[in-house]
Chain A
Amino acid sequence: MDSATPAPPPAGAIDCDVHINLPSTRVLLPHFDPYWREHITRRGLERESLDTTSFPANAPINGRPDWRPDNAPPGSLLPALQSHILDHFQLRHAIGNVLNGAQVIFSEDLSAAYCRAINNWLQKEWLDRDPRLRASIVVPVHSAELAAEEIHRMAGDTRFVQVLMLSMAELPLGRRQTWPIYKAATEYDLPIGIHAGSSYRHPPSAGGWGSYYLEDYVSHAQGFAASMNSLVAEGVFQKFPTLKVVLMESGVSWLPAALWRLDKTWRGVRAETPWLEVLPTEIVRQHIRLTLQPFDAPPTEPQLITLLEQLGSDELLLFSTDYPHWHFDGDEALPAGLPDALRQKICIDNPLATYPRLRT
């Protein structure tokens, strides 16, 4: 960006995507019930890291250098998170997302047991220790019934403000097998947060397995577009009219072109999905939101303004730092060139409008 210098977010901003990482699987042991604790220790699973392939802790992008603690994985220490972002940016809230292989383990019961332990751990070790923190409910994404059970178990704790899923799972996210998750979430007015990530049952690229992270990371935009198409086409938003979906770490610039194509194609094939009575763009604007970082901004400010116009609404973007991932340096969490009114909307109004539990 050439002219304006990026300014930090206004005080009281709500950070809608912060990563809370397990320092080790072992920390979960007190949070399993006795059966699963014995299961885990008999198999020695507490010695296994369940880091997901997409986010290896040592990759530079996954920990900003000045946010890396000395002896622990980035994002695994509360005092660090407090000083790096909560205090530093004077945040009102930050929504913590735990990305962990537990969500996608093949055994549905084991996956559910891990997710319960993670949610218990989040309550005790994070939410109880800082009133500014909020979190997403971690669920076994491949078992809709068990995921719904976990939503019911955790929803009473209103510090959990959404349900966490991944953009690429075993099935496209709109398929009916997944609907019990959306049903449970809407019962509590919880948005579904879809984070970049894959269970790697399929290549992230529809063309096959890539060789490099460059391919993997860039393919995520296609994964998000596919998830969006599936949610729209399958009629999830007609079935669950109050459902909100937040795409996290999705990037933003792919969206206008994806919507143009979706709208154009819909005009000719809409008879196939008669529940879609209005342009897909209208459905997306009503139901889908995107977090800001990593922001794939175009190279110049005028182009940024064009992109914002193409999005067609100032309600779509939600502030996020994506802590501790390394997408910006210093305080430059917001791209330069955003109009002031939009900064306020992105940082405060839009998150409040999206997450009912942040308003109470």
Chain B
Amino acid sequence: MPRHVVARVDEIPAGTCKIVTVRGREIGIFNVKDSFYGLINRCPHQGAPLCEGAIVSRLVSSLPGEYGLSRPGEMIRCPWHCWEFDITTGKSLCDPNSMQARMFNVEVEPGKDLVEGPFVAEAVEVSVEDRYVVVTM
């Protein structure tokens, strides 16, 4: 499968998302504590631009009245009906087994490797000094 250079790493600081288009498909590239994930920008519920939602934590509670934040910055909340999805797996919180957002394989590569190997660099200029986000699809 072709590999697509979609962004320079420093364009997507930790805790943010950049929406890119690969082969006509919108993908949200998330930087979660310097790990990168690619999620389709279409909510499996009714098709909202999922990756434009708020990046949130997972709220947990073992008992009513007890509140905890876990996995800060690892969830995305759909902008339409507020279903929450795990950025690292694509699984919804409400129905993790049957309601999932499609994930894409995302890797970070140094520019010096990319200038040699076969890849598709649509709107990205590659230089040997930088590091790049590469999507395989």
* Chain A residues within CB distance 8 Å of chain B: 176, 234-236, 238-239, 266-271, 273-275, 279
Contact = CB atoms under 8 A, between A and B. Distances in A.
A266 B63 contact: no
Contacts of B56: 271
Nearest to A269: B82
B64 A275 contact: yes
Contact of B83 (A176, A268, A279): A268
Contacts of B60: 274
Interface of B: 56, 59-68, 77, 81-84, 93-95
Nearest to B66: A275
Nearest to B68: A274
B57 to A, nearest CB: 10
Contacts of A235: 61, 63-65
A276 to B, nearest CB: 9
Contacts of A268: 81-83
A270 B82 CA distance: 9
A275 B61 CA distance: 5
A275 B84 contact: no
Contacts of A269: 82
B63 A274 contact: no
Contacts of A274: 59-61, 67-68
A274 to B, nearest CB: 4
Query: What is the predominant secondary structure among interface residues of chain B facing chain A?
Result: loop
A239 B61 contact: no
21 contacts: A176-B64, A176-B65, A235-B61, A235-B65, A236-B64, A238-B62, A238-B63, A239-B64, A266-B94, A267-B83, A267-B94, A269-B82, A270-B84, A271-B59, A273-B64, A274-B68, A275-B61, A275-B62, A275-B63, A279-B94, A279-B95
Q: Which of B60, B64, B82, B93 has the most CB of A within 10 A?
A: B64
A268 B53 CA distance: 13
Classify the secondary structure of A's interface with B. Answer: helix
A173 to B, nearest CB: 14
A210 B53 CA distance: 44
Which of A239, A266, A271, A279 counts the most B-chain CB atoms under 10 A from its CB? A271
Contacts of A234: 64
A141 B87 CA distance: 47
A273 B62 CA distance: 11
Going nearest first, the 4 A-B pairs with the smallest beta carbon separation are: A235-B64, A274-B61, A267-B94, A274-B59
A269 B65 CA distance: 17
A266 B93 CA distance: 11
Contact of B63 (A239, A270, A271, A279): A239
Given A176-B65, A270-B84, A274-B68, 8 more contacts: A235-B64, A268-B83, A271-B82, A273-B64, A274-B59, A274-B60, A275-B64, A275-B66
Contacts of B63: 235, 238-239, 275
Contacts of B62: 238, 275
A275 B56 CA distance: 17
B64 A271 contact: no
Contacts of A238: 62-64
Most B CB atoms within 10 A — which of A238, A266, A267, A269? Answer: A267
Contacts of A275: 61-64, 66
Interface core residue of A234, A238, A275 (most chain B CB under 10 Å):
A275
Nearest to B94: A267
B125 to A, nearest CB: 41
Contact of A267 (B65, B67, B81): B81
A266 B94 CA distance: 8
B61 to A, nearest CB: 4
A273 B64 CA distance: 8
A323 to B, nearest CB: 38
Given A235-B64, A239-B64, A270 B93 contact: yes
Nearest to A233: B64
A236 B64 CA distance: 8
